[in-house]
């Protein structure tokens, strides 16, 4: 499973220049499998998650459409106030832990007429250590575009015997679209697929109460509106495993003694909940927001073909605080299993953070200039030692050992 080692974002709303994880070859470690970003309201946590979604929208729809979505309001509202440079993204990831890292960077800007364009797009990869026999590794630019024009290279192209670099191909990309949208070389296709498969959750329990017409969705959507159709797909794909899955989920939700699938006459899938203290079963529409959130998150972790990166904003909303430590443990186990995804969570919850280590937790706050800053808690003096002494991370946070008085 591909893993994100780090991302740097510049000039995106309050994120003037922030780096999460390892982007370039420096001493900052790569991101862990489960990452939590904490911080007060207004520090940029939603902007951070939206930056991931924005990259996916650029691939799916083009940069102009991605900027013009209602919740973004156009390029000038997205660009950091007072800034005239473009919005930059630097992404470092590996297809597998054994593969060489890939660094993808893109700059998006607009002209005097307000039309959005891509000014720079670059994809780099170091050469294999086997090719250098102890010499310093070279970095190949496998994609190098300025205003949509430049050269693209494939790792399996012929090598120039003089420069020892792949022989490139000149390309021209339609205005407003990323080069990796069109290039069919395996390395570009893999990056494109990786970004497009990111799953960003904005779960809304009221939408999951809707019972859509019978249908089959292979993945849970971002709001949970298709929860019934997602479960219907899982049932059709693996009927025996589906019943076992429901019982596993039921054991993890307090007060639920069992969950049973029921087929309605119109072939919709209904879930019948056996609830402690009730003689008659209840159905999906009757359940509390917290129960439906747990059902959605636990069902998401049963996806047989998970997204490589899952982003979740404030999973604690609507959940009983003591459940959050269990949910963190579930996320951690899911991320660490073979083929499991990487998970990025933004949270205000002490209970959620209590179950994490200093390497997993990052603080997002604002400096004196009003722009956001990111800091890994493992790099704060004294925090690793206090954690090793037995103090949980959430308690350190709420007792202000992270240096911010705004939990």
Among the three residues 196, 218, 235, which one is the final residue of a domain in this structure? 196
Q: Are residues 285 and 145 in the same domain?
A: no
Grouping H, G, I as helix, E, B as strand and the rest as coil, residue 53 is helix
Q: pLDDT value at position 97?
A: 84
Q: pLDDT value at position 405?
A: 56
- Average confidence (pLDDT) over 62-71: 96
Which of the pair, 136 or 299, is modelled with greater confidence?
A: 299
The span from the CA of 180 to the CA of 56, in Å, is 12
Q: Is the pLDDT of residue 136 over 70?
A: no
Q: Are residues 215 and 251 in the same domain?
A: yes
Domain around 352:
200-356
The span from the CA of 407 to the CA of 246, in Å, is 36
Q: Are residues 133 and 235 in the same domain?
A: no
Q: Are residues 164 and 209 in the same domain?
A: no
Q: What's the pTM?
A: 0.91
Q: pLDDT value at position 27?
A: 75
Q: pLDDT value at position 164?
A: 57
Which tokens belong to 161? Answer: 């015997």
Q: Enumerate residues 6+ apart whose C-beta is below 8 A from 245.
A: 234, 299, 302
Q: Are residues 114 and 241 in the same domain?
A: no
The span from the CA of 116 to the CA of 128, in Å, is 37
The span from the CA of 228 to the CA of 272, in Å, is 12
CA distances from 333 to 199, 249, 338 (A): 18, 15, 10
Among the three residues 171, 196, 221, which one is the final residue of a domain in this structure? 196
Among the three residues 154, 169, 196, which one is the final residue of a domain in this structure? 196
Which tokens belong to 236? Answer: 């059709």
* The total number of structural domains that make up the chain: 2
- Average confidence (pLDDT) over 329-358: 95
The span from the CA of 89 to the CA of 158, in Å, is 30
Q: How confident is the model at residue 133 (pLDDT cuts 50, 70, 90)?
A: low
Q: Are residues 91 and 105 in the same domain?
A: yes
Q: Is the pLDDT of residue 320 over 70?
A: yes
Q: How confident is the model at residue 135 (pLDDT cuts 50, 70, 90)?
A: low
Domain-located, residue 61: yes
Domain-located, residue 179: yes
The span from the CA of 132 to the CA of 226, in Å, is 51
Q: Are residues 327 and 264 in the same domain?
A: yes
Q: Are residues 344 and 252 in the same domain?
A: yes
Q: What percent of the chain has pLDDT over 70?
A: 93
Domain-located, residue 392: no
Q: How confident is the model at residue 162 (pLDDT cuts 50, 70, 90)?
A: low
Would the CA dihedral through 159, 163, 166, 172 be positive or negative?
negative
| CATH number reported for the structural domain that contains residue 285 in this entry | 3.40.50.300
- Average confidence (pLDDT) over 315-327: 90
Q: Are residues 232 and 205 in the same domain?
A: yes
The span from the CA of 267 to the CA of 382, in Å, is 59
Domain-located, residue 253: yes
Q: Are residues 91 and 132 in the same domain?
A: yes
Domain-located, residue 86: yes
Q: pLDDT value at position 166?
A: 60
Question: 């390029």: which residue's tokens?
Answer: 75
pLDDT in tens, 32-55: 999 999 999 999 999 999 999 999
Q: Is the pLDDT of residue 157 over 90?
A: no
């Amino acid at each position: 499973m591909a893993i994100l080692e780090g991302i740097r974002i510049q000039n995106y709303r309050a994120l003037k220049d922030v780096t999460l994880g390892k982007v370039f070859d420096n001493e900052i470690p790569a991101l862990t499998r489960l990452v939590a970003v904490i911080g007060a309201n207004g520090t940029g946590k939603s902007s951070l998650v939206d930056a991931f979604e924005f990259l996916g929208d650029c691939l799916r729809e083009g940069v102009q459409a991605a900027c013009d979505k209602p919740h973004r309001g156009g390029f000038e509202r997205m660009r950091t106030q007072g800034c005239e440079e473009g919005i930059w993204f630097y992404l470092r990831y590996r297809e597998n832990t054994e593969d060489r890292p890939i660094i993808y960077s893109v700059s998006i800007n607009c002209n005097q007429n307000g039309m959005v364009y891509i000014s720079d797009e670059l994809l780099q990869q170091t050469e294999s250590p086997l090719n250098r026999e102890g010499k310093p590794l070279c970095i190949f630019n496998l994609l190098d575009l300025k205003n949509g024009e430049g050269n693209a290279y494939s790792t399996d192209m012929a090598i120039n015997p003089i420069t020892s670099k792949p022989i490139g191909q000149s390309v021209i990309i339609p205005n407003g679209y990323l080069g990796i949208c069109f290039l069919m070389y395996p390395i570009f296709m893999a990056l494109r697929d990786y970004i497009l498969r990111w799953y960003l959750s904005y779960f809304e329990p009221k939408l999951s109460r809707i019972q859509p017409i019978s249908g089959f969705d292979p993945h849970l959507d971002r709001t949970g509106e298709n929860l019934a159709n997602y479960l219907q797909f899982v049932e059709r794909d693996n009927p025996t495993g589906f019943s076992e899955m429901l019982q596993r989920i039921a054991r993890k939700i307090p007060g639920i003694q069992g969950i049973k699938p029921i087929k309605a006459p119109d072939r919709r899938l209904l879930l019948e909940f056996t609830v402690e203290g009730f003689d008659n079963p209840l159905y999906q529409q009757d359940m509390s927001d917290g129960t439906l959130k747990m059902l959605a998150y636990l069902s998401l972790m049963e996806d047989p073909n998970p997204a490589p990166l899952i982003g979740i904003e404030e999973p604690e909303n609507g959940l009983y605080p003591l459940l959050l430590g269990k949910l963190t443990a579930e996320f951690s186990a899911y991320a660490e299993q073979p083929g499991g995804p990487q998970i990025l969570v933004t949270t205000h919850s002490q209970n959620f953070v209590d179950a994490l280590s200093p390497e997993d937790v990052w603080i997002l706050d604002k400096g004196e200039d009003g722009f956001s800053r990111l800091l890994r808690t493992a790099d704060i003096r004294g925090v690793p030692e206090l954690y090793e002494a037995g103090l949980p991370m959430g308690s350190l946070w709420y007792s202000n050992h992270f240096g911010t008085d705004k939990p």
